[in-house]
Amino acid sequence: MATRSKSSQRWLKEHFSDPYVKKAQAEGMRSRAAYKLEELAGRDRLIRPGMVVVDLGAAPGGWSQWVRQALDRLEQGLPPGAKRGRVIASDIREMPPLAGVEFLHGDFRDDAVLSRLLEMLGGEPVDLVLSDMAPNMSGVDAVDQPRAMHLAELAMEFADRQLREGGTFLIKLFQGVGSDDYLRELRRRYAKVAIRKPAASRKRSPEVYALATGKLARMK
């Protein structure tokens, strides 16, 4: 039997002692990432009844699951025929079905996958774009950071085209080469851009979340 490396052992110990992992298991959430979004959405009141939400890089589904539950709570008691929120999730990895979540399996970098996503939207404007996308990390910054920034740029382009005026874009960024330039581009497109580091985000991780609110009709 192969023995695990010391770094792998440390990761497993940290993972299973993580309070957010334990909370996710206890509450039936798909991943601890749900609590990152819970904090971010609660602080800035991101979820409203009837919203159209697109979750990029959704697997295993923690964010989509949390958004669907939040929408269901907010939409309780709405009269018949009232507009109900939609959650559309996409990932290169398979994701087990979630009630009330529409899932597209495919590589977001593929034009054909993007076309299918647009077909699912059916011309409906998007209120909130979420992106928790990240590349498979090699541990080599010179390789990982450009890959991460490429995904971030694709998500921004999607928001440019599909997000309604006044809409919101929340994206995970890895601090490093290209991230400052990316934030400058966001500030040209949105009325306000804030950087968040939720409590469920591990302190040693270079990840932060850029929250861009109030999409502008025209770039600055």
127 among the known binding-site residues? no
Distance from C-alpha of 197 to C-alpha of 174, rounded to nearest angstrom: 11
Q: What is the DSSP letter of 84?
A: P
Evaluate whether 172 touches 149 at the Cβ level (below 8 Å).
Answer: no
One-letter amino acid at 119 equals E
107 among the known binding-site residues? yes
Query: Is position 6 annotated as part of the catalytic site?
Result: no
Q: Residues 6 or more apart from 119 whose CB is under 8 A from it?
A: none
Determine which one of 172, 192, 197, 215 is catalytic: 172
Please state whether 105 falls in left (phi above 0), alpha (psi between -120 and 50) or beta: beta
User: Which pair of structure tokens corresponds to residue 29?
Assistant: 């959430």
Furthest CA-CA distance within the chain: 60
Name 211's bridge partners.
170, 194
User: Which pair of structure tokens corresponds to residue 142?
Assistant: 């010179």
Nearest CA-CA partner of 37 in 135, 170, 129: 170
Distance from C-alpha of 126 to C-alpha of 52, rounded to nearest angstrom: 5
110 among the known binding-site residues? no
63 among the known binding-site residues? yes
61 among the known binding-site residues? yes
Distance from C-alpha of 127 to C-alpha of 123, rounded to nearest angstrom: 13
Distance from C-alpha of 104 to C-alpha of 113, rounded to nearest angstrom: 8
> Mind telling me the catalytic residues?
172
Annotated binding site: 61, 63, 91, 107, 132
- Per the annotation, binding residues for S-adenosyl-L-methionine are 61, 63, 91, 107, 132
